[in-house]
């Protein structure tokens, strides 16, 4: 019996944004075509015949939002038969974490609008994009336990409270600040500078910076970054 397939391949991008002392956000587009016209969705679209998945997700992100990202990490493949009402579409999803102010967003092609939304004020999403977003959030939280992600999202020199806020924003819960500070400093990948931050009426705070060279050298020696959150 001949096998007949009519399956299309698509890509979707979950781009998280973080800025110091603010909540975690996600980049969404408002669809300009059916199905789900005028509904918010993740940037994405169909893969072209002679195009790799990575090239497709970067192209769709650029076309629909104006955002260019060098690195997106593959998240998961979603292939429920009726996830798209038009036809059978298998979607390969990707995610990234960026500083929103580094990009000028501009909607085009199938998107009539592009906008950052904080995770606590999300609109209704098209297709199964809520499910994709939730899985990306869980992956991001998990990565906090085994990779020092986030230092690129902070200023080059930062008070330790900014690092704490980044973690609490991504985890969406409070952390034991004393144990967190002790654990991070024990890795010896942060350098204490001779500078002081004075913001508002609060206490002056010492500034730190992430030592990327030291971290890379430790990795070659078998260093394992691990933080457990209860």
Asked if the peptide bond before residue 185 counts as cis, ω within 30 degrees of 0, the response is no
CA distance 61 to 70: 11
Using CB atoms within 10 A of its CB, is residue 139 exposed (0-12), middle (13-18) or buried (19+)? middle
Residues 41 and 93 in one domain: yes
User: Considering 137, 161, 178, which residue would you say is the last residue of a domain?
Assistant: 137
* 227 falls within a domain: no
- DSSP of 32-92: -SSSSTT-EE-SEEEPPTT--HHHHHHHHHHHHH----S--EEEEEE--TTSSSSS-EEEE
Residues 127 and 201 in one domain: no
Q: Are residues 164 and 123 in the same domain?
A: no
- The residue from 82, 114, 137 where one domain ends is 137
> Domain span at residue 188?
151-220
Asked if 103 and 170 sit in the same domain, the reply is: no
pLDDT tens, position by position, 68-121? 998 899 999 999 999 999 999 999 999 999 999 999 999 988 899 999 999 999
Whether 98 and 50 share a structural domain: yes
Express each pLDDT in 128-150 by its tens digit: 999 999 999 999 999 988 988 88
pLDDT score recorded for residue 16: 96
141 contacts 97 by C-beta, under 8 angstroms: no
> What is the spatial distance between Cα 178 and Cα 135, in angstroms, rounded to a whole number?
29
Same domain, 121 and 173: no
pLDDT computed for residue 201 by the predictor: 57
Q: What pLDDT, on the 0 to 100 scale, is given for residue 208?
A: 94
**What are the tens digits of pLDDT across the range 212-223?**
999 999 999 998
Is residue 226 predicted with pLDDT exceeding 60? yes
Overall domain count for the chain = 2
- Which residues are known to be catalytic? 113
Q: What is the pTM of this model?
A: 0.91
Report the first-to-last Cα separation within the chain, whole angstroms: 54
Mean pLDDT throughout 33-37? 94
pLDDT at 230: 59
Same-domain status, 110 and 157: no
């Amino acid at each position: 019996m001949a096998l007949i397939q009519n399956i299309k391949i698509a890509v979707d991008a979950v781009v998280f944004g973080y800025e110091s002392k603010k909540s975690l956000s996600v980049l969404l587009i408002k669809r300009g075509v059916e199905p789900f016209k005028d509904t918010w969705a993740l940037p994405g679209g169909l893969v072209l015949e002679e195009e790799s998945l990575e090239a497709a997700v970067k192209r769709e992100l650029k076309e629909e939002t104006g955002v260019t990202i060098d690195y997106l990490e593959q998240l998961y493949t979603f292939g429920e038969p009726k996830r798209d009402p038009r036809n059978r579409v298998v979607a390969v999803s990707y995610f990234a974490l960026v500083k929103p102010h580094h990009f000028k967003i501009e909607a085009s092609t199938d998107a009539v609008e592009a906008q950052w939304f904080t995770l606590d004020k999300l609109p209704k999403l098209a297709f199964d994009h809520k499910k994709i977003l939730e899985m990306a959030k869980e992956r991001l939280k998990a990565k906090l336990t085994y990779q020092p992600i986030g230092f690129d999202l902070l200023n080059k020199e930062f008070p330790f409270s900014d690092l704490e806020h980044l973690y609490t924003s991504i985890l969406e819960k409070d952390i034991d600040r004393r144990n967190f500070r002790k654990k991070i400093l024990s890795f010896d990948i942060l350098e204490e500078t001779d500078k002081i931050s004075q913001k508002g009426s609060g206490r002056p705070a010492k500034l730190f910076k992430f030592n990327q060279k030291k971290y890379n050298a430790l990795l070659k020696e078998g260093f394992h970054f691990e933080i457990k959150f209860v």
